[in-house]
Amino acid sequence: MATTATRPRILIADDDFVVRGALAATFGGDFEIDEAASGEECLRRIEARPPALVVLDIEMPGMDGYAACRQIRTRHSMPVIFLSAHDTLDERLEAFASGGDDFVSKPFDGEEFRHKVSRLIDRHLQLAEIRREQESLQEFTAQLLQDIGRKDVLFSFMRQNMHCTDYEVLADSLLRATDEYAIRCHVQVRYGGGAVTQTPSGPASPLETSVFEQCASLGPEFRFGRRMILNCGDVSVIVLQLPEDASTAERLQERLSVLTESAAAIAETIHIRKESASRAEALQAASAFSSAAVEELRDKYRAQQADTHVFLQRLIDDVESQYVHLGMTERQEEVMSATVRHRAEEILKLFEANEGFEAQFAAILTSLQPRSSASGNTVWLF
């Protein structure tokens, strides 16, 4: 037999103590019994200690069974069995309309009544378990949808910042992503020579910025009460108030950790891109300078070649113009002219031997020309 602590409790509400005694004798072996002599007393006992089932007489002085049942149904869902000496259709309809679960007429069969009570209590417990499972399933579904939404936040953040090239844009995007988790955060993205610190109210104050300076070295994760600091690379996130529920706070911490790590990876990519762009600009400047130098050298070489032709011809003309003053014979003049012209031709042949310089100059200038993508857009190395 079940112990008193484990037996379901039945409240019997009837103004006839003889009926109450008969019912108590019928149910006493398997159930704990409580009694009430009126509808008002029945309600008071239910509020003090809700039973597993109520046996409710219809005809009682003061508040009748129908009115009592309607009051019960405003706050409770335990089964109610109406008990009446008048088994008419109207009474049964009124009983069910007021919230009853079953109807037993007087006089009653004890074994049948016990079966009805046991069946109704078992069904009520099963329905309560089903409701709990439904609530648990609804809670799980809501949490699943929330988790899916939070994963979408991360995917959206990564997609939006895949080609980000600005630290301030990254910090703004990170702050918006944390706001999608329905929490208040401050974020900071550091870079060489400075940092971008953003809060829900806009750029951080000097005091708020100094907090990041103190917290950046506290490790990947640091909690103080319901506040938390997340650090990864050049990115820090301060959570101002975590949820009170431990499991919710833990899931949120995991999401924010991944978000912070992703932001740090994007910040590193921005650094690499800016460094690559700076190097490319330096190379372009050096290339432009080298191209100008080679152009100048080629122009000077051409000018030197042309000037040499002119100067040699003037030399020949000047020498031959002096023959009349030197008293030389015609044969001597011919020998002198031939000698001077031969040496001039040898000098000019040196330039002819270096005609490959033009092709080399052209090749050098072509290699120094800046290359651009077909679309004209910036080409990142990373």
CATH number for 85:
3.40.50.2300
pLDDT of residue 5: 55
* Angle subtended at Cα 279 by Cα 173 and Cα 360, rounded to the nearest 5 degrees: 145
Helix, strand, coil shares of the chain, percent, nearest 5, are 60, 15, 25
Q: Which residues pair with 237 in a beta bridge?
A: 187, 230
pLDDT of residue 56: 94
Instruction: Clarify whether residues 247 and 201 are in a common domain.
Output: yes
pLDDT of residue 247: 79
pLDDT of residue 374: 46
Question: In angstroms, how far is CA 298 from the centroid of its own chain?
Answer: 60
Question: In which residue ranges of the chain is pLDDT below 50?
Answer: 1, 373-382
Residue whose token pair is 């031709």: 345
Handedness of CA 323, 327, 329, 335 (dihedral sign): negative
DSSP run (H or E) holding 189: strand 185-191
pLDDT of residue 240: 81
Instruction: Clarify whether residues 123 and 165 are in a common domain.
Output: no
Buried-state track 344-357, b at ≥16 Cβ within 10 A, e below 16: beeeeeeeeeeeee
248, 273, 298 — which closes off a domain?
273
CA–CA separation, 172 and 266 (whole Å): 13
Instruction: Clarify whether residues 28 and 65 are in a common domain.
Output: yes
218, 249, 273 — which closes off a domain?
273
pLDDT of residue 381: 41
pLDDT of residue 81: 93
Contact assessment for residue 143 and residue 247, using Cβ atoms and an 8 Å cutoff: no
pLDDT of residue 346: 76
Residue 118 in any domain: the answer is yes
Instruction: Clarify whether residues 160 and 240 are in a common domain.
Output: yes
Query: 49 CB contacts (<8 Å, ≥6 apart)?
Result: 9, 34
Residue whose token pair is 């398997």: 30
221, 238, 273 — which closes off a domain?
273
Residue 151 in any domain: the answer is yes
- Return the closest-CA partner of residue 64 out of 91, 45, 26: 91
Domain that residue 251 falls in:
143-273
* Angle between helix 110-160 and 167-180 (nearest 10): 170
Pairing between β-strand 221-224 and β-strand 227-232 as defined by DSSP bridges: antiparallel
For the chain, the domain total comes to 3
- Return the closest-CA partner of residue 22 out of 113, 152, 118, 127: 113
CA–CA separation, 102 and 54 (whole Å): 11
Contact assessment for residue 216 and residue 236, using Cβ atoms and an 8 Å cutoff: yes
